[in-house]
Amino acid sequence: MKIYLPAILCCCLFNGAEKQIGKAAWLIGTWENKTSRGVTYETWNKLNEDEFQGKSYALKGKDTVVFETVQLLQKNDRLYYIPVVTGQNAGLPVTFTLKQGMGAQLVFENPAHDFPQTVSYQQINADSLVAEISGNKNGQFRKISFPMRRVK
């Protein structure tokens, strides 16, 4: 006896759930954060159906100084935010797992990391977002926000 499954169920069973990385497509582009300390940028590119690549950097004269590279990776039915921050964690990547992805909000967590334990992105509109890092550091809760506007 053959069992026929509805197409939507087959999609979910055999391809994992709908790709979560699609919820982050609004990140693609270049974003700018201006502060009194200078201007930083964050650029996101789609490498393939399962991976976006990001980097945070500043322009100093004609030089680009990269602070962080990030891999946003869909693996099976999970979405991972994997940064490598210059001068931190011995240059090794740290993995954060998507805990909440509701279209315009992405929240990644790694409770075992020293700081931050949470990285989030909130789309305000098509041309602005707020990135935040938060968690406990030295026994106190800290949250740092990075409001950004799209430049490309």
pLDDT above 70 for 11 = no
Distance CA 28, CA 4 (A): 38
pLDDT above 50 for 81 = yes
Domains of the chain, with CATH numbers? 15-150 (2.40.128.20)
Q: What angle do CA 15, 17, 22 make, to 5 degrees?
A: 100
Q: What is the mean pLDDT of the chain?
A: 88
Q: Which tokens sit at 35?
A: 């502060």
Cβ neighbours of residue 19 closer than 8 Å, sequence gap 6 or more: 49, 50, 74
Instruction: Name the residue with higher pLDDT: 14 or 68.
Output: 68
Q: How does residue 18 score in pLDDT terms, banded at 50, 70 and 90?
A: low
Which one, of 102, 82, 101, 103, lies nearest residue 92 by Cα? 82
Q: How does residue 85 score in pLDDT terms, banded at 50, 70 and 90?
A: very high
pTM of the shown model: 0.85
Give percent of the chain with pLDDT exceeding 90: 73
Distance CA 80, CA 62 (A): 33
Q: Which tokens sit at 116?
A: 């931050």
